Amino acid sequence: MTLDLHDDVVALTRALCDIPSVSGDEAPIADAVEASLRKLGHLEVLRDGDAVVARTQLGRARRIVLAGHLDTVPIKDNLPTWTTGAGADEILHGRGTVDMKGGVAAQLRIAATVPEPRNDLTFVFYDNEEVASVRNGLGRLVRNHPDWLAGDFAILGEPSNGTVEGGCQGTMRVRITLAGKAAHAARSWRGVNAVHAAGDVLAILNRYEPRTVMVDGLEYREGLNAVNIAGGIAGNVIPDECVVDINHRFAPDRDIPAALAHLREVFAGYELEVRDQASGARPGLDQPAAAEFLAAVGRPPAPKFGWTDVARFADLGIPAVNYGPGDPLLAHTDEEHLPTADLRECERVLAAWLR
Amino acid sequence: MTLDLHDDVVALTRALCDIPSVSGDEAPIADAVEASLRKLGHLEVLRDGDAVVARTQLGRARRIVLAGHLDTVPIKDNLPTWTTGAGADEILHGRGTVDMKGGVAAQLRIAATVPEPRNDLTFVFYDNEEVASVRNGLGRLVRNHPDWLAGDFAILGEPSNGTVEGGCQGTMRVRITLAGKAAHAARSWRGVNAVHAAGDVLAILNRYEPRTVMVDGLEYREGLNAVNIAGGIAGNVIPDECVVDINHRFAPDRDIPAALAHLREVFAGYELEVRDQASGARPGLDQPAAAEFLAAVGRPPAPKFGWTDVARFADLGIPAVNYGPGDPLLAHTDEEHLPTADLRECERVLAAWLR
């Protein structure tokens, strides 16, 4: 099947949503996107697995990357799409409308309608964003074809309510394992209660005051939270082990080693087992292209608290921001829906700046 | 099969151990015990399920109850029994030697060798002591035939190193459920972390100083312990629930309502869900029969910390103690073993007092 990229952006969003593309099953939508981009004729089109890259080769001084993922979380009786209201109040409902086929549709429309942009453009549509990081299609492109991603500035079309959300916070998960000594609960003084020992760890978490940090003009809010605790094997046994998993979200003024050093200081005396980590990304809004784009959007930027794929661009040295239609708090909910006026506004802003 | 109750107590213990009788599978051993007791001729023998009761009806002024369970925990390549050493250093090894076929053998020997005791005697051998309380054979006799258990004093043959262990502590398990509010870990300030809230509960436990209490001349040691904690559903979600299960072991100067009132005071402001409870038993060593028996044993008594079936006799208003051969700390271990000299001493003490 081929998509008509010259169609209205709302119709195009619906067409994209109505091709089911839960993570791992993106082949049909990637095929459709690839065929539609090839048909335009003015773009070089590349493919790796279910990721499609298309770019102009106009020899411009600067290259802007527009990127979005093609997959969605599982469908919950919320496809095919439907609309309510009309005109300025029209709402498009259904899986993927917010996260993030609206953003993809706006970018595909630019591909079709801005054939001679003032900057060279690279479009990146990829698979498996909603699942484990190792499967992420953008991560795979970074490993297999970093040259396909080259650019001076990247716009990730993740929902951001039409505001530029700069950078993202990093995340790290560490495990603290408290050791005790098992004993029958009737003679508890013969044992050492590992769950009780976890009390000191929780006390540290309760005392901890997360930072609020200004980075490149945006205010980030950190967090340090136990996300799991487990201890005990039976109702009459003193637990000899208790495991606490702690998630730290850190502002992009710190890299992974700095964040880990901070945790080692906070939990001095405890052994920390790092289970998971991902660096954040500075907003980079002081970069010329980012500053220009921010002016074009005409709204004050906001920080991105959650980790997003902008960090992958940051790792390549490419300043990147999140900019897309839709409320990110509706992402993954069964009630996912998108005001079509926001979608049209997003396309208009992108086209005006890129044309 | 029939057991020879006139045989040596060590041979009888081995014969009992070598009839596998893991909880729920006591029919063969109960059949053998019942047949052997009937064969003696001087006892009234009764049966309920796999519990066997035998008693003299001599019209004596006082009646002493001797009780023991027939089941064991699962066999771990430690049957049939074997011995090491010889003479005064002989050790009998295998499942059930300590818990508690040694004690049962000594009691069966009394049934056979003391046909005209100075007190009437009731022997109670029962099933399913090592499993959930609702299946306990002695508890079933309490419900079905409380008259079979009538008496002035009871000796439970649980291993006690040949010392009289008086009474037992009570036990109660309560659950505290901390409620929070789920949120994405990247925006943790939108949620309320239920695992962090458990920190205050653990702090109470860490501050708590359990009582040491003299009851009827014996010193009991209480305990208050978290035996389980669980909270958290995913590495990127602020937990909205954390459950802490707390076990309280309380001295027999408190009954269940008093123990619960104490916990409500300790955990003021928290809702306590009682999950499990069993009252303790006062040692009752000031009762005439108990005081006499204590003098016959000739060793200072000790408190029983763990909950045992003496509490079931206490509930019937019958003073009861634990007295049997073997080290209770070896019970349930794969290395369960019993010095045969201790076994013979136990039989000798019982016979001397009951004859």
DSSP annotation of A298:
T
CA distance to partner chain B, nearest, from residue A242 (Å): 8
For residue A243 the two structure tokens come to 């495991």
Residue of A171, A185, A305 lying closest to B249 (CB–CB)? A185
What are the structure tokens assigned to A306, written together? 């959650």
- Tell me which residue in B169, B171, B232 faces A229 most closely, judged by beta carbons: B232
**Alpha-carbon gap: A139 to the closest alpha carbon of chain B (Å):** 20
In angstroms, the CA B307 to CA A333 distance is 51
In the stretch 303-332 of chain B, residues with CB closer than 8 A to chain A read: 305-307
pLDDT in tens, A114-169: 999 999 999 999 999 988 888 999 999 999 999 999 999 999 999 999 999 998 89
pLDDT band at A196 (very low <50, low <70, confident <90, very high): very high
Closest residue, chain B, to A251 (C-alpha): B186
Instruction: Please give the ipTM for the structure prediction.
Output: 0.81
pLDDT class for A289, splitting at 50, 70, 90?
Answer: very high
Residue B242 touches chain A, beta carbons under 8 Å: yes
Catalytic positions of A, please? Answer: 71, 129
Instruction: Kindly state the average pLDDT of the residues A8-34.
Output: 97
User: Chain A contacts of B189, Cβ < 8 Å?
Assistant: 221, 223
Distance from CA of B170 to the nearest CA of A (A): 9
**Residue B287: which pLDDT band, with cuts at 50, 70 and 90?**
confident
Q: Taking Cα atoms as reference points, which of A13, A105, A95, A103 lies closest to residue A337?
A: A95
Is any Cβ of chain B less than 8 angstroms from the Cβ of A196?
yes
- Token pair, residue B101, equals 């076929």
User: Residue B40 CA to chain centroid, in angstroms?
Assistant: 29
Mean pLDDT of all residues in A6-22: 97
The alpha-carbon radius of gyration of chain A (Å, integer) is 23
Q: What span, in angstroms and rounded, lies between the C-alpha atoms of B74 and B336?
A: 12
- At A334 the three-state DSSP class reads coil
- B333 pLDDT tier (thresholds 50, 70, 90): confident
CA A226 – CA B230 distance, rounded (Å): 12
- When pLDDT is averaged across residues B121-131 and rounded to a whole number, the result is 95
Average pLDDT, integer, range A329-336: 90
Does residue A173 register a pLDDT over 90? yes
Q: What is the three-class DSSP state of A66? A: strand
Least confident of A251-255, A282-286, B13-17: A282-286
pLDDT digits (tens, 9 = 90+) for A294-327: 999 999 999 988 888 999 999 899 989 999 999 9
pLDDT band at B138 (very low <50, low <70, confident <90, very high): very high
Q: Closest chain A residue to B187 measured between Cα atoms? A: A305
**A234: confidence class by pLDDT, cuts 50, 70, 90:** confident
Task: Give the per-residue pLDDT at B276.
Answer: 87
The C-alpha angle B87, B88, B93, rounded to 5 degrees, equals 80
Token duo for residue B137: 């054979």
Catalytic residue positions of B, numbered: 71, 129
Q: Which CATH class is domain A9-168+281-354?
A: alpha beta
Of A169, A185, A227, the CB nearest to B227: A185
Q: Is A296 helix (H, G, I), strand (E, B) or coil?
A: helix
For domain A176-278, which CATH number applies: 3.30.70.360, 3.40.50.12280, 3.30.43.10, 3.10.20.30? 3.30.70.360
Q: Is A277 on the interface with B (CB under 8 A)?
A: no
pLDDT band at A287 (very low <50, low <70, confident <90, very high): confident
Residues 145-174 of B with CB under 8 A from A: 169, 171, 173
Q: Do A235 and B307 touch (CB under 8 A)?
A: no
Residue B1 has pLDDT above 80, yes or no: no
Q: Do the chains contact at A225 and B238, CB–CB below 8 Å?
A: yes
In whole numbers, what is the pLDDT of chain B averaged over residues?
95
Q: How are strands ordered across the β-sheet holding B165-166?
A: B44-48, B51-55, B120-126, B63-69, B153-156, B320-322, B165-166, B302-303
CA distance A262 to A259: 5
Q: Which residues contact B85 (CB under 8 A, 6 or more apart)?
A: B91
Q: Cβ separation of A226 and B249 shorter than 8 Å?
A: no
pLDDT (average), residues A222-235: 95
> Does the pLDDT of residue A1 top 80, yes or no?
no
β-strand pairing of A63-69 with B223-231:
unpaired
Beta bridge partners of B92: B83, B338
Q: Looking at the complex, does the CB of residue A208 fall below 8 Å from at least one CB of chain B?
A: no
pLDDT in tens, B301-318: 999 888 889 999 998 999
The reported pLDDT for the residue numbered B283 is: 85
Q: How far apart are CA A18 and CA A26, in angstroms?
A: 12
C-beta separation of A206 from B196 below 8 A: yes
List CB contacts of B11: < 8 A, sequence separation 6 or more. Answer: none
Candidates A210, A231, A245; nearest CB to B232: A245
Angle at CA of residue A34, ends A29 and A38, nearest 5° = 150
Three state DSSP letters for B131-146 = CCHHHCHHHHHHHHCH
How many CB atoms are closer than 10 A to CB A43?
A: 20
Position A184 scores a pLDDT of 87
Chain B residue with CA closest to A175: the answer is B235
Asked if A203 reaches chain B (Cβ–Cβ under 8 Å), the answer is: yes
Can you give the residue ranges of every domain in chain B? 9-168+281-354, 176-278
Q: Do B203 and A203 touch (CB under 8 A)?
A: yes
> Is B248's Cβ below 8 Å from some Cβ in A?
no
Provide the token pair at A153: 């500035």
% of residues, chain A, pLDDT over 90: 85
Taken as a whole, chain A contains a residue count of 355
Nearest alpha-carbon partner for A241 in A290, A303, A198, A296: A198
Residue A37 is predicted with a pLDDT of: 98
Decide the pairing of beta strands B63-69 and B153-156.
parallel
Strands (E), chain A: 44-48, 51-55, 63-69, 82-84, 91-93, 120-126, 153-156, 165-166, 170-179, 212-215, 218-221, 223-231, 241-250, 273-278, 302-303, 320-322, 337-339
Spatial CB neighbours of B305, under 8 Å, sequence gap ≥ 6: A186, A187, B168, B169, B220, B221, B249
Nearest alpha carbon to residue A73 among A149, A142, A130, A9: A130
Q: For B163-207, what is each residue's pLDDT tens digit?
A: 999 888 999 999 999 999 988 888 899 999 999 999 999 999 999
Question: Which 8-state DSSP code applies to residue A280?
Answer: -
DSSP A153-164: EEEE----TTS-
- Cα-to-chain-centroid distance, residue A177: 30
Q: Which of B157, B279, B156, B282 is nearest to B217 (CA)?
A: B282
pLDDT of residue B217: 87
Instruction: Collect all residues of chain B within an 8 Å Cβ-Cβ radius of residue A229.
Output: 195, 198, 229-232, 239, 242
